[in-house]
Chains A and B, each alone.
Chain A
């Protein structure tokens, strides 16, 4: 009897000491993801999420990170900054993630940023465009998407080809829309062009006829449009209805031209779009092979083709985070933060490497993404005639 008890005790003891070791090798590395999965921009948030899942599966198929599988903990910020902050807190405190990717909209990212500093956990920002995100002196922020100013610079070399003398702006009434209107407006003024009217639309608005009528009454030759694909569709349809004959350039990278062709039809003909990924010509991307493989995998999973122009952000964000963990050697937030400065990889958009941005001593990281322009011609996506030659 005693022997049975003793051997059982030894067995239990053995298991108890062995278990942590067993758990360690099996335990996955967690990466937090905060996106708007419900609310007015749910489509975009979901596309990004789909991109993160592809990245995770590819990484795990190649053996994971540091020999462990990657697990994504995905939180919905419900398009509300308060929820973004709560989600960040939950991921950091409850789930103990060493790094987060998020949070799509600029005000959601800004709301989560104090939590990053409070707990010392880095975040890879994949979509937000407000300049203040990297200028606030938060050393835990690393952005791979371009701020509006950088996006405007990307347009600079094509300005002469566009031949813009005066442009109007119609933007969504959020930090993104306003920031874009300011950034592109400054670009135009620097280059000798004039700025006409600057109109805004509420994020949930569906009727923009008043703004279009006002713009039509002006003398500009170009209209800059900054908002999500849903509102762009509505604006283009209503512009067609009012016979607004202008050159239209959409900014922000969320215009999903394929979806526009489907939903706006002839109203989208001739419009230009600034994007950060051209899934119709993946070979033209800096790493053509990676881009093509990504497009194929996306299609294989049955995801809507329109979502590619945003889904890649999720992929690049997770690749960046995973690479940082690998360089750090351990899933420790501070080590990962330091490692992020050393990241030098090729994402779907192009090279990802962080430069210092913001007040000295507390810089955030900002990468310089590639910027592309496409045009809708004859119901298909094409490179603008002048760009094809370059």
Chain B
């Protein structure tokens, strides 16, 4: 029984990070119709930015994280203006390939800049685990969970309650009408992509210290993000948030009770099942953004 509890706890913690990865991607995918293969690279960027801030500039851990997010968002905005805007009217696969090119370029720039050796980020948290009955978890992971949840809630509020959020949703529902209503389409596109990139960087900034930093860390993150997006339904914010948890728990239980080798297959099988039985996602009745 305690094994099950620990598995569930692991799954919940893991799932929260999957959710954070997923919501950034689903926004960009659902609202801009851009298959962002470089999503994982913004994740990596966030992690390395924290490392650079801590090691290079000796800022506090709690300052490094927002800094990393800002860097991610800024680079996202830049990419949107330079790469995506000129290709706005091209087919989805051309855009997708440009994102693949960006992925390759970014990852190898990291390799060139930081080297292939993995780096670890020190945190102000103790390494002694917190014991809750029969299960235990490290303070750092609790922190990551809480912050991830805060980001998810914050992003939802931004989209649902603020003027900017409304403008974003309007633009992607009907571009012409939104423009007629005074929304600056160009700005919205840039902001949306920067938002997605920023969320990815946030995930990287939070998870980098939990795991290790190495240039190809974004590949796995990308894959999980895509799984979450499908689970929740394209462009479905709440779906991605919940989908992340579902994926995390499913993977944990699959690895724990079925087979550790086939662990990642759980995610794929879920995707296939969802696509075949309920293509609009498990949570289709939840609010759709676009």
Residues of A with Cβ closer than 8 Å to B? 37-40, 42-43, 45-46, 173, 199-202, 204-207, 209-211, 213-214, 216-217, 229-230, 233-234, 237, 240-243, 262-263, 265-267, 304, 307
Q: Contact partner of B212 among A217, A234, A242, A266, CB < 8 A?
A: A234
Please state if B3 and A263 are interface contacts (CB–CB under 8 Å): no
Residues of A within 8 A of B129 (CB): 240-243
Give Cα distance in the complex from A201 to B211, angstroms.
15
Interchain CB contact under 8 A, A204 and B216: yes
For residue B260, CB closer than 8 A to chain A, the reply is yes
Decide yes or no: A211 and B255 within 8 Å by CB, A217-B3, A237-B127 being known contacts. Answer: yes
Contacts of A211 in B (CB 8 A): 255-256, 260
Residues of B within 8 A of A (CB): 2-3, 6-7, 10, 14, 108, 111, 115-118, 120, 127, 129, 131, 136-138, 141, 211-212, 214-217, 219-220, 251-256, 260-261, 263-264
Min CB–CB distance B265 → chain A (angstroms): 11
State A200–B262 Cα separation when bound (angstroms): 9
Is B117 in contact with A304, judged by CB distance below 8 angstroms?
Answer: yes
B138 touches A241 (CB 8 A): yes
Contact B219 A204 (CB under 8 A): yes
B261 and A204 form a contact (CB under 8 A): no
Whether the pair B220, A204 counts as a contact (CB closer than 8 A) is: yes
A216 touches B3 (CB 8 A): yes
* Complex alpha-carbon distance, A181 and B264, angstroms: 21
* 18 further contact pairs, Cβ within 8 A, besides A39-B216, A241-B138: A38-B111, A42-B214, A43-B117, A43-B214, A46-B116, A202-B264, A204-B220, A207-B14, A210-B260, A213-B3, A213-B7, A214-B255, A214-B256, A230-B118, A234-B211, A237-B138, A262-B120, A263-B118
Within the complex, which residue of B111, B116, B256 is in contact with A210, where a contact is CB–CB below 8 Å?
Answer: B256
Min CB–CB distance B127 → chain A (angstroms)? 6
Our pick among B2, B216, B260 for the contact of A200 (Cβ within 8 Å) is B260
**Bound CA–CA A191/B211 (angstroms):** 37
Max chain A C-beta neighbours (<10 A), residue from B14, B116, B131: B116
- Measured CB to CB, the closest approach of chain B to A127, in angstroms, equals 16
For A201, the closest partner residue in chain B by CB is B260
Collect the chain A residues with CB atoms within 8 Å of residue B117's CB: 42-43, 46, 304, 307
Q: List 28 A-B contacts (CB under 8 A).
A: A38-B111, A40-B216, A42-B116, A42-B214, A43-B115, A45-B116, A46-B115, A202-B261, A202-B263, A204-B220, A205-B220, A205-B263, A209-B6, A209-B252, A211-B255, A211-B260, A213-B10, A217-B3, A229-B118, A230-B212, A230-B214, A240-B129, A241-B129, A242-B136, A243-B131, A262-B120, A263-B212, A267-B127
Residues of chain A lying within 8 A (CB to CB) of residue B137: 241
**Chain B: which residue is nearest A229 at the CB level?**
B118
The interface residues of chain A lying within 8 Å CB-to-CB of B214 are 40, 42-43, 230
Separation of A37 and B112 alpha carbons in the complex (Å): 11
Do residues A210 and B255 form an inter-chain contact, with CB atoms below 8 A?
yes
Bound-state Cα–Cα, A200 to B258, Å: 12
User: Contact: A210 with B10, CB < 8 Å?
Assistant: yes
Cα(A39)–Cα(B10), bound, Å: 28
